[in-house]
Structure 1
Amino acid sequence: MSTRIGRALRLAGIAGIALVATGCASSRMLDRHADCVAPAAIPQAYDAGQGERAARLSVLIYNVEGLPWPARKNRGPSLQRIGETLQAMRAKGSAPDVVMLQEAFTPAARDVLVQAGYANIVSGPGRKTRRGAVAAEIEPTFKKARKRSKGERFGRLLNSGLYIASDLPLAVLAAEPFSRRACAGFDCLANKGSLVASLRVADMPSSLVLLTTHLNSQRAARVSLDRARQAHGYQIEENAMLLKRVRGRDAPMVMGGDFNMRGDPGRFEAFAKAQPYTIVHEFCVNQPEVCTTKMSFDGDEPWLDTQDLQAYDDGRDVRIVPVEIEAMFDGLRGERLSDHDGLLVTYELRWPAARAAQASAYPLCPI
């Protein structure tokens, strides 16, 4: 959650913000599904040698800073330009295959994907959604220490702000908020959580599981760093339990979002322990001959220099290899239109040729 939300709350008072935020940011989440797939949108599977087939899939994660007034003013034009940029890329055939948005709280933010023209859009938890999955066991002292003045006892004013979009078929596996006490500070005003969906790719033998999430912030939460870190740990635990329930052991997975772990090795260590997946930044640093880096990496551990990360895990029959990582909307590739850059990763998905499914399983749109 942005520091602007905390600043606005102190200036205007929580009661005033409640009236404004509930009115302009709690509108219904957006979902839409196409009945067919345009042939041009289907990644082409190819012979990768050694008895394997492969296809490439690009995934963009982007925190679009879609905050309501008075936390943020005049976001509409920038959000519209994000949508227009993606729309232009789709027209040229160069758009990301998958887009995951975070902090898309307002209608203008969610409409980025409508403007872009993606055929399928699925959304995360709404403002009033309650967690149905197993929750972390919250320490009594952590619950007791909640403060209304920090937004922790005021209920949810915003939805999750999470979306996944693609021209390929998407199916929601889970849209779960974090449990009501697994948050700290002003982050508790949004119904943060996770969105999990499955995506059908080319003639791959199993669907790809996608997860996007937005974890508890650090100083922006306006509570002690220890308290914010403890909430972050609960959320990591709840994501791990959710994936264990809905993913299936055989399915490959890509996850991405605003992990809020920048500069905090403790948070990163907790994530790596609970969800031992490969961070793309780490892979691309260690395997430069495999993964091309088209962005600036500062220092030896660039995964600690950003909030926005992608991670992946192989399935039984499908291996995942990042082959390119780059920034978008960073002022170099695309205008800078948010307080975050977009992170675009291209993956090569590989599977045994003998296990290939039939690409004709897609319902194709007439040309």
Structure 2
Amino acid sequence: MTIRATALLLALAATGCAIPQKQRVSACFPAPPRAAAEGRASTTLSILTFNVEGMPWPAKGHRAPRLREIGRELAAMRARGTAPDIVLLQESFSREAARIGARAGYRNYVKGPTAHTRRPPTSEDADPKLVDKRKRTKGEWKPIFSGGLYILSDLPLVASDREPFRSRECAGFDCLSNKGVMHVRVAVPGAPAELDLFNTHLNSRGHAGVSQDRSLKAHSLQVDDLHRYIEAKWDKAHPMIFGGDLNMRHAPARFAHFAAVMPYTLVHRYCLQKAAGCDVRISWDGDAPWMDTEDLQGFESGGGVAVQPARVEAMFDKPWRGDTLSDHDGFLVTYRLSWTSAAPKLPLLPTCR
């Protein structure tokens, strides 16, 4: 390891240990749910997936003003009643990134794995070349950062959980972050079933600093772990939505394994069907637009609640002071959730005061 690389990693470690991991949790409705009319009842729910590029110095400089602006814009949207109902954040490592939920004013902002959240043991299927021959000069240490995940929402939070990916099942500099997956369960006004939500960030490719083959091995193991976790936490009596930075852009081998393991419906694939009636407000080129982005969402119906993407659009894609707010655009999906009004209702939660 070079002196420069050693100094950088020590600086990252010192910075990462000082970053607070704040969260706030409530289980009440901002307003009383309306009674459903006879017949089929429905509501819309907007979910934003956004990698905010919240890397601390010295990994990234001059990010704080843009991260503060993200929080301010969300707060302004909340004041106008146009903010996403749920926000899935990735790369919320720095102080300012960790404060986005509080700055935006969401009633709930819940964190994913911290730097110290214990990893499950390595799986028996892991390639020994990945788990036994660690590349220390490429950052394959124990994590010094959190997983960078947050979920923000005003909806009542019924349950939450978080788990890093398995020990040593990461590649390159990604191992410095305790990447994994987080789960929350929220109550939807009037719906007969709660909603299970999952947020994740999978191993990168080029930024990992190791070979494509090595990062592919880690990515595949993390996809396996993501599926295991979703199946363990998702109550099939509920609808389910997942999203995050899946790091599969222009990576057919990564996507092939993902598609083979994850049986859920991708929003991009659903909305590509003309019969779906999905209002697509972003540019999709070719017949496989899911290959042109890192940021994806997927869904399944459950508990008598049908989930259908109604609109997809970009957020935070406009320049701010001559540059974008992040190296990712936000990916916003508006879902329609519908159910029969005769379905049994969940016990009402209190109205927030």
| TM-score (ref. length: structure 1) | 0.89
The residue correspondences of 1:215-226 to structure 2 (distance < 5 A) are 215-226=202-213
- Measured after TM superposition, the shift of residue 70 of structure 1 is 0.9
RMSD: 2.4
Name 2:325's counterpart in structure 1: 337
Name 2:312's counterpart in structure 1: 325
Secondary structure, counterpart of 1:39 in structure 2 = coil
Structure 2: 5+ residue stretches without partners: none
Secondary structure, counterpart of 1:209 in structure 2 = strand
Q: Measured at CA, do residues 135 and 70 of structure 1 come closer, stay the same or move farther in structure 2, by a change above 3 Å?
A: same
CA distance in 1 between partners of 2:336 and 2:123 (Å): 34
The residue correspondences of 1:271-286 to structure 2 (distance < 5 A) are 271-286=258-273
Contact residue 136 and residue 237 of structure 1 kept, 8 A: no
CA distance in 1 between partners of 2:234 and 2:344 (Å): 20
- Measured after TM superposition, the shift of residue 116 of structure 1 is 0.5
Q: Measured at CA, do residues 36 and 319 of structure 1 come closer, stay the same or move farther in structure 2, by a change above 3 Å?
A: closer
**Is 2:286 aligned against 1:294?**
no
Secondary structure, counterpart of 1:244 in structure 2 = helix
Name 2:345's counterpart in structure 1: 357
Can you list the C-alpha shifts for 1:244-302, whole angstroms capped at 9, x where unaligned?
21112222110000000000122112112211111111111113652101111122211
Can you list the C-alpha shifts for 1:136-160, whole angstroms capped at 9, x where unaligned?
63122322232111111x2112110
Name 1:3's counterpart in structure 2: none
CA distance in 2 between partners of 1:163 and 1:283 (Å): 26
Name 2:106's counterpart in structure 1: 118
Contact residue 136 and residue 238 of structure 1 kept, 8 A: no
Amino acid at match of 1:306: T
Aligned length: 352
The residue correspondences of 1:70-149 to structure 2 (distance < 5 A) are 70-132=58-120, 135=123, 137-149=125-137
Can you list the C-alpha shifts for 1:65-117, whole angstroms capped at 9, x where unaligned?
00011110011110111011000000000000001100000110011111100
CA distance in 2 between partners of 1:171 and 1:240 (Å): 22
Secondary structure, counterpart of 1:217 in structure 2 = coil
Contact residue 115 and residue 147 of structure 2 kept, 8 A: yes
Name 1:255's counterpart in structure 2: 242
Secondary structure, counterpart of 2:99 in structure 1 = helix
**Is 2:7 aligned against 1:37?**
no
**Is 2:194 aligned against 1:207?**
yes
Identity percentage over the alignment? Answer: 42
| TM-score (ref. length: structure 2) | 0.93
- Measured after TM superposition, the shift of residue 14 of structure 1 is 3.1
Contact residue 26 and residue 157 of structure 1 kept, 8 A: no
Structure 1: 5+ residue stretches without partners: 1-8
